[in-house]
Structure 1
Amino acid sequence: MVQTQHADTKAGSSHFGVERVKNILVGLLLTGAIIYAGIVGYMFLNQQSLLYKPDGELPDPSSVGLADVEMQSVPMTDGTVLTVWAAPAAVPDAPTVLFFHGQSGNLGDRADRLREILNSGYGLLAPSYRGFPGSEGEPSELALISDGVQLFDRLTGKGEAVVLHGQSLGTGIAAAVAAERPEAELLVLEAPFTATVDVAAERYPFLPVSVLMKDQFATRDLIEQIRVPTLIFHGTEDETIPLHHGQALAEMSDIAQLYVIPDGSHNDLWSYGLWDEVQKNLSQN
């Protein structure tokens, strides 16, 4: 009888141990699920601030070596007023470069690029995106593309030929404008992505970014229909948007020329002769 009680005690203890382990595992799973849900919620609620990163104050163009550039206020059709930097072409019949900057900072951070454009005799129109220093409103994919098309029409309405130049995030805007306005002279994509959602998926493979992300800037869905002559520049050492994005876009297009820049990173492609190649292409047209 004593032995039976001892066996029952052991069985009960074993059962208790299994239940305890199960409870611990369930607790861990619930904790993990709560943490994961928190991460997903944070990324969803903060996605705009992760994609658009305005910073600083917009300087006067002359203070960054752009004495010939005028700061203008341009109202969009929805009433939002954008600040743009504008300068006419110094060379007769030279096109105007409609320049779309990257995701962070402000136009002043791109002064070296803009100065090189102007020194070559081309005109310039460079908007500060809505929500960025100097401009009203909040940025979004639809709004930025709409603004880009309106600025393009503003230039062509004055009889100007337009070169669309996008830098990083700006490539998504420039490509979308080119898809809607095939009369553009040239499309320049500097360190482009196939889509912002693709970049996000590579950075956060554990998140369902295709479901969460609102502004996906899917250039890959537009590139085949773009009939504007297109130049794609991408550095082999680009860690922000890897080279395979530019290569993929070039493969999807039957007119795009891909310039792979050895040792080039995300922000230094101009120092490797990007603008020289753009000018050569324009002179051949």
Structure 2
Amino acid sequence: MSDTMNIKPDARPTQNSAGRSAARRILIGVLVAAVAAYLSAMAYMYLFQRSFVFKPGGEVAAPVVAGVPEVSVDTIRMADGTEVIIWTAPPTMEDAPTVLFFHGNSGNLSDRADRFRHILDSGYGLYAPGYRGYPGSGGAPSEVAFVADGLEHFDRLSGGDAAVIVHGQSLGTGVATAVAAQRAGIDLLVLEAPYTATVDMAAEQYPWLPVSFLMKDPFVSRDRIGQVDAPVFIAHGTADEVIPVAHGEALFGFANDPRSLMIVEGADHGNLWSHGLWDEVQRQIDGRGQ
């Protein structure tokens, strides 16, 4: 019998190695949870992004209730059969232009009646369409639909000899710019509190998301405005907390001449008209006739 003893090593892990394994498992669990949360956030933003961009609401008030009794309300059928509401009124001043007005992203058409009152009081005509998916109109909102409808509205309006101003407010600046980039014969493109692109704004608000990959409706006005041959007038307020004034300034840099920029100190997103926006529009139109 041999005197040599076979001693087996202790198979149990040391306290240190057990601790490292536990820490590794916790770390992996945290990473998996973080990735799952990130992917869930991406999926949520992708699926529901249009509820952030388009915010229809309320009921369309009758023009007489809204303070513009001379406006006619019609429903027209677009090329694909979708019916949308439009508010129209002819010019009351000889040779005055008609304003094709694309409103902002919230509420409905009648919420802009105060702006329409200024336009009509100047003797100008009005053609203001409601958006698809908004009160008074059928269909669903999207950039593709808005731009296609905008082009069709312009073609309906520009069939005669009347001068046309294309005016975009906030979200509507993307529609107005797209229309002006694809159509000639526009007397003035007015951009009220514009953005360079909705995808740019989304990137600023959600820098942790790949918004350029996720965005369905990027409204890239910075790429389109260089194709606009019409005179461009941009107005923006320094106190705008919805679309920072830097967007208006940057978009102005992309525009062709003739172009003009009105930066209003202390004005916010919704009160540019009370700071002289419409007065400046009229001045530019009247100046072109001299």
| TM-score (normalizing by structure 2) | 0.94
From 274, 279, 290, the equivalent of 1:276 is: 279
Aligned with 2:119: secondary structure?
A: helix
From 240, 244, 265, the equivalent of 1:262 is: 265
Matched letter for residue 285 of structure 2:
L
Alpha-carbon distance, 1:143 to partner: 1.1
Matched letter for residue 271 of structure 1:
S
Alpha-carbon distance, 1:265 to partner: 1.0
Q: Which stretch of the first structure deviates more once superposed, 148-157 or 248-257?
A: 248-257
Matched letter for residue 281 of structure 1:
Q
Q: Distance in 2 between matches of 1:276 and 1:22?
A: 67
Matched letter for residue 244 of structure 1:
A
Alpha-carbon distance, 1:121 to partner: 0.6
Aligned with 1:68: secondary structure?
A: coil
From 204, 207, 210, the equivalent of 1:205 is: 207
Q: Distance in 1 between matches of 2:102 and 2:93?
A: 22
Alpha-carbon distance, 1:154 to partner: 0.8
Map of 2:145 onto structure 1 = 143
Give the number of the structure whose residues are more often helix, by fraction: 1
Q: 1:112-191, aligned counterparts within 5 Å?
A: 112-191=114-193
Alpha-carbon distance, 1:92 to partner: 1.1
Q: 1:29-48, aligned counterparts within 5 Å?
A: 29-48=31-50
From 69, 73, 83, the equivalent of 2:75 is: 73
Map of 1:23 onto structure 2 = 25
From 205, 215, 218, the equivalent of 2:220 is: 218
Identity value in percent? 52
Matched letter for residue 31 of structure 1:
A
Matched letter for residue 280 of structure 1:
R
Structure 1: give runs of 5+ residues left out of the alignment: 1-6
Structure 2: give runs of 5+ residues left out of the alignment: 1-8
Asked if 1 retains the 8 angstrom alpha-carbon contact of 2:108 and 2:135, the reply is yes
Matched letter for residue 273 of structure 1:
G
Aligned with 2:14: secondary structure?
A: helix
Q: Distance in 2 between matches of 1:254 and 1:122?
A: 26
| 1:4-23 Cα deviation digits (max 9, x unpaired) | xxx97996111010011111
Matched letter for residue 272 of structure 2:
L
| 1:87-106 Cα deviation digits (max 9, x unpaired) | 01110110100000001100
Q: Distance in 2 between matches of 1:9 and 1:190?
A: 75
Matched letter for residue 264 of structure 2:
I
From 25, 50, 53, the equivalent of 2:52 is: 50
Matched letter for residue 79 of structure 1:
G
Alpha-carbon distance, 1:160 to partner: 2.1
Q: Distance in 2 between matches of 1:125 and 1:32?
A: 50
Q: Distance in 2 between matches of 1:208 and 1:214?
A: 12
Aligned with 1:97: secondary structure?
A: strand
Map of 2:6 onto structure 1 = none
| 1:37-79 Cα deviation digits (max 9, x unpaired) | 1111110000111111100111111111010001011111111
Q: Distance in 1 between matches of 2:193 and 2:74?
A: 28
Q: Distance in 2 between matches of 1:254 and 1:134?
A: 36
Alpha-carbon distance, 1:148 to partner: 0.8
| 1:222-278 Cα deviation digits (max 9, x unpaired) | 111211000000111111111111111111123221111100111111111100000
Aligned with 2:46: secondary structure?
A: helix
Aligned with 1:222: secondary structure?
A: helix
